[in-house]
Structure 1
Amino acid sequence: MTALNLPTWNPERLAEALAEHGLTGQPRHGRRAKGGKRTTRPMTKTAITQLRRTRARTAAPAGTNTRRPTPLDRLMKRLGEVYRAEIDRRGGESSIDSKDNAVPVTIVDRNPTTRMVLMHAEGWRYYSSRYGHARASLSYLCGIEDGQRWAVRVLGTIETVADALAWITPAGVETARANGRKVVRQGDVYAIETTKAHDGKGDLPENHTWDPAARTLTHPEHGTLHLPHPVRFVPQRALGMGRGAGSAYAD
């Protein structure tokens, strides 16, 4: 097969070359040759110029992604909207704001098994007319549990679900698991098997209630835990919601 070297830069010469090689263009409307096939007419200089102008008007701008969104694309967009709303509801920053624009947190990692996502953003944050702008980053681990959505702020350098989980899990929990002790979790607090002398001790975040007589740990948004063995409580690690907030309970 011989490749054709067509003068595409010049509509007039291109029309001549197409005609020379029998490469006709537009169909003749209303006229059919034998066998029912449409007849065609040569592409003239004017036709080529008009076609190029039409394509230029209807073409997407350079750099535009014309790929149709997939179901996963739509899911990620919807999850992003839902969890940004949850971050706002909890008093957190869902974007990094400069004087001119805002960079919203978006999903950069997702674990479909645990139904968790990592929301992240980097940008220039405006502080004041005196201080000006400074680089900032935000990261949140988000998910759903017991029918409730949640969002936990973690270090802004974290960009994966696995790293966020590792960061929020207290060292005492990892040690207890390594030593074969029972560990159960209710929301943002862990109940770790211990001795009778330490039973019921530790920090309980707000809305978690320990009943030593009934041996139950309750929370209005989580299932009740029955803990017949001695336990001590350790809350998850997290950063407080809002600019400048320090350490806080995760829930």
Structure 2
Amino acid sequence: MTLINLAHNKPSNQSSSLIFSPQVDFDLTTYLENSRHLIESSLPSLPVVYIRNITLLHPFLRSLILDQSGQIWVSSRSTNWVAEQIFKATGFTYQKWSHFLQATTKQPRTIFPYVHGNLIFYRIPNKIEHHPDWINASLCSQMICSKRKGEHPIEFFIPSNINTHLNIRIPILFRKSIILKQVDSSYHLSNLWNHHYNQQLSRLHYQLDVNNPTDRQNHFFQDYPFNFKHDFPINSQHLIDFSHSLLTPLK
């Protein structure tokens, strides 16, 4: 069963947003019906939207993966393993990235997002330590976060890649403060990455094409209702040093 299939069963006067609720009223049985087992070799090219830990809900499956078409995949691999396969394909793992950020900022307990260019994943803690959920914010067209007090979720809207009239809506209610800190960090880190790569392209005398990733990132962040911090502790030189460390073989 896919989210798109569920949409076809909805009355025509209902919203065109398909709700995937990973935290509240999560019905694993519904999602498992006709789900597919993950083809691990396809992960680097799969437009993954959300990775949900289901270890406590199933005897041998550990991860449920939602892609941008609404297809549900399941795997016996951990959520971290699934996420790291995506990250390694872009150049470096979350473990290496997180250690770099924690050491550079001297914040060893801070949860940072994975950011590389225009790829942004937020890490969402759950009851299974070290095996969180993950949401791919770089596929989001809009994020809504109320400034009102109380239990108001952060909502991520991801356009379906097979139906232009449909959006996948993902409300995140728990641990909102952790997500908001990651949103702030990702804003600065994505801008730093783009500045870093633009400088490299400039030195090589290349022209940026119309698909400049900064444009899409600014669009994603423009509805953010809070002010971004100005004193972010990471700068361009830090990213240069990190990039160089990736080229240095381990001794």
Sort the TM-score into its range (normalised by shorter chain). under 0.3
Q: Larger helix proportion, structure 1 or 2?
A: 2
Point out which structure has higher relative CO (alpha carbons under 8 A, 6+ apart): 2
Q: Which has the larger radius of gyration?
A: 1
TM-score normalised by L of structure 1: 0.24
